[in-house]
Structure 1
Amino acid sequence: MTEAEKTRTRRKEARPQEILEAAFRLFAEKGYAATKMEDIARAAGVSRGTPYLYFPNKEELFKSVLRELLLPKLREGEALVRESRATSSAELLRELLHMWWTLQGETELSALPKLMIAEAGNFPEVARIYQEEFVEPGDALIRMILERGIASGEFRAIDVEYALHVICAPMLLAMVMRNSLSSCLPPDFDPRRHIDTLCDLILEGLKHRAI
């Protein structure tokens, strides 16, 4: 195989990933409904029909965006909870929230919550994939940490299911504001301070109260 042929082969193998990344950028910028397959092809630098070689339609492409770009980040979170050397559940929760921001909040993927809020009502199947394959497994990681802390006596007994919403909401809001309401954030907004303050408030509330 000549060098030119090798280059073409590598380029062909990279196309699905390039198409996914271009699709996500356009979905985040224009919204799902307003993005056409030919727009995605143009942004990926491929011919108009190339995306259809890998994805039969835009909905399947959107599902692949979620699965291929986001789920690997979730696997890293699962590995952290499974393998972390954190000495306490409080420390592990703090580690997980910081990892969440590093892997999603600081990247283009931070646009996903805003995108899902805008599009979920019109595209329920896409919303179902997002809920079942990302939101619920992510909640399970936080649930695991909270239940571990309660079982060990580190945390007091709380309503774990609602605690999940209380913990996740400030993280998601920061991502939404980062992508749509940045003018409402302080000009020197520091996401790590945001997360540390969130953790301090949550973990103080989780402590056993002296009788």
Structure 2
Amino acid sequence: MNEQEPRWRRRKAARPAEMIEAALDVFAEHGFAAAKLDDIARRAGVAKGSLYLYFDTKEALFRAVVDQAVVPPVSRMLAMAQAQDGPFAEVAPRLLAGAALALSQDRVAAVARMVIGEARTFPDLARIWHQEVVGPLLAAVIARIARAQAAGEVRLGDPRTHAFSLVGPLLMATLFRQVFAGVAADLPDLHEVAAQHARSLLDGLILPTAHSGVST
């Protein structure tokens, strides 16, 4: 077999991944509306026609970006949320720490900002983001909170509302970093936000133990 053939095959097989990587950068830098397929193809080192061989629309390329660049860290968070069997007071800080780690990836956070900013103009972005990222993650957190409530660990209340209370400040800090980078002098550290919010929230969310003698 020609020694060049395996390298050629690897290069051809790698092209979609290279296109997705280039699209992630361009979307993060310019947003969805301003992103040009010509720029994505140029950054990936392929002809624009080659891009269309794999992705027939910009929306299809965005879905691929979400599937390849965003879903994997979210899936790891989902697996962690579903696998944690310890007390919720120990699980919640680990969940927030995992979320902080995922959102600390600037390009992922930039894509989230892009979706929020352009969802009304491009509703397919919101649909894809909700279907692939927000929906599964929120469902897992809600289920874990409901399980903690059933075990007598967490106060009664709508588990969905509790879930928003749990993740909301971290998402706000992420957007603050994205919007005000280069403007605000002291951007929030996501890991510090996650750790402090876990302590503050759990003070009000976790039920006192039977040994504390504190009534609810």
Common topology (TM > 0.5): yes
1:33 maps to a residue whose letter is A
CA RMSD of aligned residues (A): 1.8
Deviates more, 1:153-162 or 1:27-36: 153-162
More deviation, 66-75/43-52: 66-75
Length-normalised TM-score, structure 1: 0.91
Check conservation: 1:20, 1:61, Cα contact below 8 A: yes
2:162 aligns with 163
Structure 1 gap ranges (5+):
none
The one-letter code of the counterpart of 1:144 is A
Instruction: Trace 1:104-119 onto structure 2 (pairs within 5 A).
Output: 104-119=103-118
Q: Retained in 1: the 8 A contact 2:28–2:110? A: yes
Amino acid at match of 1:167: L
- Identity among equivalent pairs (%): 33
Equivalent AA in structure 1 for residue 95 of structure 2: L
Determine the structure 2 residue equivalent to 1:64. Answer: 64
Whether the 8 Å contact between 1:31 and 1:115 is mirrored in structure 2 is yes
Tell me the distance in 1 between the aligned counterparts of 2:106 and 2:35. 21
Matches of 2:108 and 2:121, distance apart in 1: 21
Per the alignment, residue 130 of structure 1 pairs with 129
Alignment partner of 1:190 is 2:195:
no
- The offset of 1:178, in angstroms, is 2.1
Determine the C-alpha separation between the residues in 2 that align with 1:110 and 1:70: 9
Separation (CA, whole Å) in 2 of partners of 1:78 and 1:161: 16
- One-letter amino acid of the counterpart of residue 193, structure 2: H
Match in the other structure for 2:40: 40
Moved over 4 A (4+): none
Residue 168 of structure 1 deviates from its aligned partner by: 2.1
TM-score between the two structures when normalised by the length of structure 2:
0.89
Displacement of 1:34: 0.7
Q: How many residues align?
A: 209
Which structure 2 segments of 5+ residues have no match?
A: 209-213
SS, match of residue 103 in structure 1:
helix
Cα drift, residue 171 of structure 1: 1.6
